[in-house]
Amino acid sequence: MDMLLMFVLALLPILWLVLALCGMKMEAWKASFGALIISAVLGIAVWKMTPINAATAALEGMAMAIWPIVIVIIAAVFTYNLTVHTGAMETIKGMLTSVSSDKRVLVLLIGWCFGGFLEGMAGFGTAVAIPASMLMALGFNPITAILACLVANGVPTMFGSIGIPTTTLASITGLEPTQLALTQALQVAPFVIATPFLMVMIVGGGPKALKGVLPITLITGLAMALPEIATAAFIGADLPMVVASVVTLIVTFVVALKMKGEVPNEYALETPKSEEKLTPKKALTAWAPFILIFVVLVLTSKLVPFINGPLSAIKTSVNIYQGDPDAKLTFTWINTPGVLILVCGLIGGLIQGCSFGEMMKVLGATCKQMAKTILTMLAVLGCAKIMGYSGMIASIAAFFVGTLGNFYPLVAPILGALGTFVTGSGTSSEVLFGSVQQQAAQAIGANEYWLCAANSLGISAGKMLSPQSIAIGTAACGLVGKDGEVLGKVAVYAFAFVIIMAIGIQAGVMMGISI
């Protein structure tokens, strides 16, 4: 009975978030601070944290929110806002719609292919903020654009930011990274193939939208899934999403150019009319910030160790949480996506002829636009740290392991989703529950790789639902305060994913799958 009570109490901050956002239609930053207060009160009163430990746990979470998460969100939205300010976005819109004026194809190119690349290289919200903003600029309904990008952003998360979630899980559990990555890629492959179909149906208003675009939709899913599996098997955990997104971008682009036939009116976007001829110089100038982001993120990644190493060494580690002197928070000052994207945005602005003073005004306006989102990030990460350090997360996990026994695999992906819902981070979910999954596998005699990979699989569903991800999307599209509406819509897809995942993982254990 005590285990059940602790489980229910530990869920209260999460239940509050769902109730406040969906039921009470509360603004995300207010709901998140409510969850922070609830977690602090429970941590002190029930889990016996000292007030100073609760306060410093929250402070650590807030520091983590500011660096690197808030900085990357501001940098991504600033880059987009700057391209709008300089008029470059109109050129980009014209180029994209010259490939296709079909919004079903455009959501695949931008939300799926380009978004997957951003997640693979940078993560931390860029794959929602930038593609959703671009789709909105092309004329998509903002809610639809956010919803499509949230669904698209789920499945790449385990290999996001050059595979950090997967390499983190491997280091925590001691599992071999390449074998773990292959297991993950195989588990997620059906969802990778299915996601483009869902995106088309989201922007097209239902299954009827698939008519006429079934081939390209299937091809773009396969072009992501197959290279992801191959890269995981032969290279390892760092590059599956980067390689897969580049392959699917090229393949989808070529197939889109070869598509023939009239676009039905209900799916057609008006192509911007321009009297000025598009030259290669103008095209390169318009895309300059995004090209720079691509080049710089590749050059500073682990793919180029002689650059990555020295830049990554410029960091500071501090102990903020007073309950554990070994709990260090590391701030990487230069080789972090936010700083790199911000620098690329500024250089891109100069290339586009924007003065430094103008860029500072755009940056100031972006910070003002993102103010409530920043507050949401601070509260969500503060809450997550209290829940982790106090033992609330452990109580949730202990309940599932202790009560389900051999049916524990049913909840393995649910825990992964829960961790990402609370923290907004696939990496944090691996930290919270990776060892739990491994211990559970040992207890019930299941394959450790299969069950640990299930945590990463669940991350795909949790990422869609995370208040952090939703807040990033609504802020980028100027819909602050609409978080509850977006959560209600995306929950349908996330819950469907996690139910199918749970059944698949349980079936795999019962069949004795070993990879």
Smallest CA-to-CA distance from 265 within 102, 100, 140, 98 is with: 102
What pLDDT, in 10s, does the model give residues 356-368?
999 999 999 989 8
Mean pLDDT of 105-121: 88
- Residue of 147 and 376 predicted with greater confidence: 147
Q: Distance between CA 163 and CA 171 in Å, rounded?
A: 12
User: pTM, whole model, 2 decimals?
Assistant: 0.77
Mean pLDDT of 331-353: 91
Asked if pLDDT for residue 429 goes beyond 90, the answer is no
Q: How far apart are the first and last CA of the chain?
A: 38
What pLDDT, in 10s, does the model give residues 190-226?
999 999 999 999 998 899 999 989 999 999 999 999 9
Asked if pLDDT for residue 275 goes beyond 80, the answer is no
Distances (CA, A) of 469 to 26, 377, 472: 17, 10, 5
What pLDDT, in 10s, does the model give residues 12-53?
988 898 788 767 878 778 888 999 999 999 999 999 999 999
Kindly give the residue spans of alpha helices, DSSP state H, lying in 313-370.
337-351, 356-369
| pLDDT over 70 percentage in the chain | 97
- Is 124 in contact with 338 (CB distance < 8 Å)? yes
Residue 399 pLDDT class (50, 70, 90 cuts): confident
Q: Distance between CA 148 and CA 203 in Å, rounded?
A: 7
DSSP state for residue 261 in the 8-state scheme: S
What pLDDT, in 10s, does the model give residues 221-241?
999 999 999 989 987 787 788
Mean pLDDT of 299-310: 85
Q: For 254-267, b where at least 16 C-beta lie within 10 A, e where not — what string?
A: ebbeeeeeebeeeb
Mean pLDDT of 484-497: 91
Smallest CA-to-CA distance from 116 within 205, 239, 258 is with: 239
| pLDDT, averaged across the chain | 87
pLDDT for the residue numbered 403:
87
pLDDT for the residue numbered 122:
67
What pLDDT, in 10s, does the model give residues 372-381?
878 887 888 8
Residue 496 pLDDT class (50, 70, 90 cuts): very high
pLDDT for the residue numbered 8:
93
